Each structure stands twice: as C-alpha cells, then as structure tokens.
Amino acid sequence: MKPEWSQWAKEAKEQFPQANSSLLPLLHRIQQAEGWLSDETIQDVASLLGLTTQYVESVASFYSLFYRDKVGKTVIHVCVGLSCALAGSDHVMEKLEHKLGIHEGQTTPDGQYTLLEAECLAACNLAPVVQRNLRFHGPVDPAELDADAFLAGDGNEVNR
C-alpha cells in the first residue's frame, strides 16, 4: 500500500454524502497512479474502505476500464463498433497490431503499449476513432495512418 492511499480513501469517502459511492472514484485514482489494479491493490482498497476483498474484486472485475492485468504505459482503444467498422476500423486495428507485433488484447513485451478493442466510444462522427489513454483521435484514415507517429503521440488529439 502506498502511504498516500489512506488520505485518498479519506477524501473519496468525504467527497460523497454516502461512503458507498467512494469505491469507484478511489479505484480510478489509484489506477491512474499505478496503471492497473493488482490483487494486492484490491486487498488494500478493501481494507481502506472496510469492504471485503471479494466485494471489491467483484466490482472491479465488472468494469472494462478497471485493468486487473498489468497494462502498458499507453493504452490504445480502437473502436470496433459498427460506425467505425464502416469507416475502416478493422484496418486500423490490423495496422497497429502489425506495427506493435501483438494482437488485440495484448501488451508489448517492453511494457509500453496495450492494444484493446472498444465498443462504440460515442464518437462515431470521428470514425474510425481511436483512444490513446482515453484521449480521442479521429478520423484515423486507415490508409494514411502513420503508426509510428501515432504511437509516439503525434498530438493529433481531438476534442470535438
């Protein structure tokens, strides 16, 4: 357990009128710092909030954005929803898989990148859309995509 976590737990509990609501915010905050939620982290969160480990595990495992396996520094979500598929998302995925030498769902051996499928990211106007650590990029033209530049963080983040 990191020393600051008990302070974070206290803040999370105080933030909402009912302490129950503090679990997801605390998991978010710790994952933001640690990258993922290990078994040990789950136990720590349980003891910090006075919950059972099983309960915290059952909640954490329900949500796709809580990573129960170690992920890379950069997590890439390629939307494979229908509107993105109609705009070529499968080719974007292929290109990134090829570049990184991994399949969807995997992490590069150097721990830099994790490549994941996402369901509709509610950004179909930007199809095909990709999130890099939850920041939107799109439309990512599958033919023009410069995978190296994209992976290095080419700054083409869109907030629209």
Partner 1 sequence: MSQKYYLLRNREIPDIDHISVYLANGGYDALRKAVNEFQPEELVDLVKKSGLRGRGGAGFPTGMKWGFLPNDGRKRYLVVNSDEAEPGTYKDREIIEHNPHQLVEGIIISSYATKAREAYIYCRGEFLFGSEQLKRAVREAYEHGFLGENILGSGFSLDLWVYRGAGAYICGEESALLESLEGKRGNPRLKPPFPAIAGLYGGPTVVNNVETITNVPAIVTYGAEWYTSMGTAKSPGLKIFSVSGRVKRPDNYEIPLATPLRTLIEEYAGGMLPGRQIKAVIPGGSSVPLLNPDKLDTPLDYESVLQAGSMLGSGGCIVLDDHVCIVGATARLVKFYREESCGKCTPCREGTYWMTDVLERMEHGLGTPDDIETLLDVADNIGGKCFCPLGDASLGVLVSAMKYFRDEFEAHVFEHACPMGEKLYDTVNY
Residues engaged in binding partner 1 (CB under 8 A): 15-18, 20-25, 27-28, 58-59, 62-66, 77, 80-83, 85-91, 118-125, 127, 131, 134-136, 142-143, 159-160
As a whole number of angstroms, the distance between CA 40 and CA 1 comes to 8
Work out the number of other CB atoms within 10 angstroms of the CB of residue 74: 15
Work out the number of other CB atoms within 10 angstroms of the CB of residue 35: 16
Q: Which amino acid belongs to residue 37?
A: L
Measured from the CB atom, the residue of 17 and 110 that comes closer to partner 1 is: 17
Measured from the CB atom, the residue of 72 and 128 that comes closer to ligand FES is: 128
Given ligand FES, partner 1, none, residue 78, with its beta carbon under 5 to 8 Å by kind, binds none
Q: How is residue 63 written in tokens?
A: 């949500």
Measured from the CB atom, the residue of 3 and 62 that comes closer to partner 1 is: 62
Residues 117-136 that bind ligand FES (CB under 6 A): 120-124, 127, 129
State which H helix or E strand residue 78 sits in: strand 74-79
As a whole number of angstroms, the distance between CA 70 and CA 20 comes to 26
**Binding residues vs ligand FES (CB under 6 A):** 79, 81-84, 120-124, 127, 129
